[in-house]
């Protein structure tokens, strides 16, 4: 017999009672429990909820009267979002819920994103939204393992089209709660950034040796969402150390590409006292969606269409210098040891001699600026190797082993 799982159902029960009650009933019909939370402000629910709107407002240090008196729907819903996310985290910490599902338009989605981020990795979190996958939803608001489904035809009232989405979502969140294998945290985890496994391949040389040393390795894809997930988990203290060897998302951020890791890229580990090994993998490239026209400023540069989703163009020498300065600036804020490794013979597979991104002048300009940008107490090591060479991996392991021996990195779980 499967253990009965409880799903928190969040929404504005004044305007969407029919839909939310249908969603909760579908969860119960499939053998789960539904714990309901009302986040409405003005009206009331057709059915009593387990967590009232007054409970939500009070959790935010306010009241429904305060929200109404603000006279502004955005201010009012931010009060409710703050209270809802606090209560969501509390209910999970108390063992009262096994997952959450929320539904809404832009208002409800805004609130739901906060609630999802309040829950740890591995706790199912679903959002049914009229703006799912829309550019209105910024990537840096998304929890690392959030699930979304488009609420088609669901703006006002139940119908056969929106019931299809609601019933799927009910089954999905309950099924996830029943089958999820949450992170065991039985070994210390190293967070690593890479870009695919052909452009950057050092993880193939590092995974086995790190596991033999008693560590678990989690590798994130540096295509925007991966960097955001990496930074979120670093901020939550998931990692005993990070090996941040792919930084194109930072360069993308500086030149205005949407394929970036958010404003906190290269900051969260240092702010949370996590030791960092850093190398500048792929900082010579700027990425942008293949389905868009090549931006005019990149039209005359070396260009690589990786697939129908993502393409890359080369950064200029000055853009690389700017990236180097920003790397130094961000690493200088770290509150734990940082060691930067510069592989002088190249920083990604396509920059080798004869490959389309080979630019020794631009690479030299980057390294020259890095030497100036990296300042004590950040350490700097240069090696006569390419980032994908065995010597790079050997250098990484040497520094890491020294950190373990000195107690900078510990195998003791937090």
Specify the 3-state DSSP secondary structure of 89.
helix
Lowest-confidence segment of 20-29, 109-118, 147-156 by average pLDDT: 147-156
pLDDT at 232: 92
Q: Rounded distance, CA 144 to CA 127, Å?
A: 13
Q: Is 298 left (phi over 0), alpha (psi -120 to 50) or beta?
A: alpha
pLDDT band for position 390 (50/70/90)? Answer: very high
Cα→Cα distances 68→48, 75, 76, 148, 295, Å: 21, 9, 7, 30, 46
Q: What is the CATH number of domain 6-179?
A: 3.40.50.12020
Q: Quick check: 133 pLDDT over 90?
A: no
pLDDT band for position 357 (50/70/90)? Answer: confident
Q: Rounded distance, CA 16 to CA 85, Å?
A: 20
Query: What are the pLDDT digits (tens) for 258-282?
Result: 888 889 999 999 999 999 999 999 9
pLDDT at 412: 61
Query: What are the pLDDT digits (tens) for 187-213?
Result: 999 999 999 888 899 999 999 999 999
CATH class of 189-405: alpha beta
**Whose CA is closest to 343, among 319, 367, 327?**
367
pLDDT at 300: 84
Tokens representing residue 210 in the block: 């790190």
Q: Quick check: 1 pLDDT over 80?
A: no
Contact 136, 108 (CB under 8 A): no
User: Phi/psi of residue 354, each to 5°?
Assistant: 90, -10
Q: At what angle do helices 73-93 and 106-117 cross, to 10 degrees?
A: 30
Lowest-confidence segment of 110-124, 292-306, 312-326 by average pLDDT: 292-306
Q: What is the percentage of the chain residues whose pLDDT exceeds 90? A: 76
Query: What are the pLDDT digits (tens) for 12-44?
Result: 999 999 999 999 999 999 999 999 999 999 888
pLDDT band for position 135 (50/70/90)? Answer: confident
Shared fold status for 6-179 and 189-405 = yes
Q: Rounded distance, CA 134 to CA 145, Å?
A: 17
Mean pLDDT in the chain?
93
How is the chain split into domains, by residue range? 6-179, 189-405
pLDDT at 153: 84
Q: Rounded distance, CA 405 to CA 186, Å?
A: 21
């Amino acid at each position: 017999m499967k253990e009965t799982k409880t799903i928190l159902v969040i929404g504005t029960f004044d305007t969407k009672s029919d839909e939310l009650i249908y969603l909760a009933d579908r969860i119960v019909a499939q053998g789960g429990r539904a714990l309901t939370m009302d986040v409405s402000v003005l009206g009331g629910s057709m059915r009593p909820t387990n967590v009232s709107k007054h409970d939500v407002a009070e959790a935010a240090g306010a009241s429904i009267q305060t929200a109404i008196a603000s006279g502004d729907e955005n201010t009012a819903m931010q009060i409710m979002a703050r209270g809802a996310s606090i209560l969501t985290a509390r209910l999970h910490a108390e063992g009262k819920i096994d997952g959450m599902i929320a539904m809404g338009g832009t208002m409800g989605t805004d609130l739901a994103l906060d609630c999802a981020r309040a829950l740890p990795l591995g706790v199912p979190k679903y959002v049914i939204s009229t703006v799912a996958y829309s550019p209105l939803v910024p990537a840096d608001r998304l929890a690392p393992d959030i699930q979304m489904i488009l609420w088609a035809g669901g703006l006002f009232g139940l119908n056969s089209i929106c019931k299809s989405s609601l019933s799927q979502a009910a089954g999905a969140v309950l099924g996830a709660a029943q089958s999820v294998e949450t992170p065991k945290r039985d070994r210390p985890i190293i967070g690593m950034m890479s870009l695919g496994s052909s452009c950057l391949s050092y993880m193939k040389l590092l995974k086995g040796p790190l596991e033999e040393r008693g560590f678990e390795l989690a590798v994130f894809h540096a295509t925007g969402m991966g960097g955001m997930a990496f930074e979120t988990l670093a901020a939550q203290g998931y990692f005993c150390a990070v090996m941040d060897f792919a930084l194109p998302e930072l360069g993308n951020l500086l030149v205005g590409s949407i394929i970036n890791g958010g404003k906190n890229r290269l900051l969260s580990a240092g702010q949370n006292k996590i030791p960092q090994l850093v190398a500048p993998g792929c900082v010579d490239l700027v990425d942008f969606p293949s389905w868009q026209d090549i931006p005019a400023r990149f039209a005359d540069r070396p260009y690589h269409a990786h697939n129908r989703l993502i393409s890359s163009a080369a950064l200029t020498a000055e853009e690389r210098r700017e990236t180097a300065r920003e790397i130094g600036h961000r690493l200088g804020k770290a509150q734990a040891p940082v060691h930067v490794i510069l592989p002088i013979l190249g920083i990604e597979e396509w920059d080798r001699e004869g490959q389309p991104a080979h630019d020794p002048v631009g690479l030299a300009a980057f390294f020259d600026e890095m030497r100036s940008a990296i300042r004590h107490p950040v350490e700097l090591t240069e090696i006569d190797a390419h980032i994908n060479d065995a010597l790079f991996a050997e250098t990484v392991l040497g520094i890491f082993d020294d950190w373990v021996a000195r107690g900078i990195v510990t195998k003791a779980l937090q």
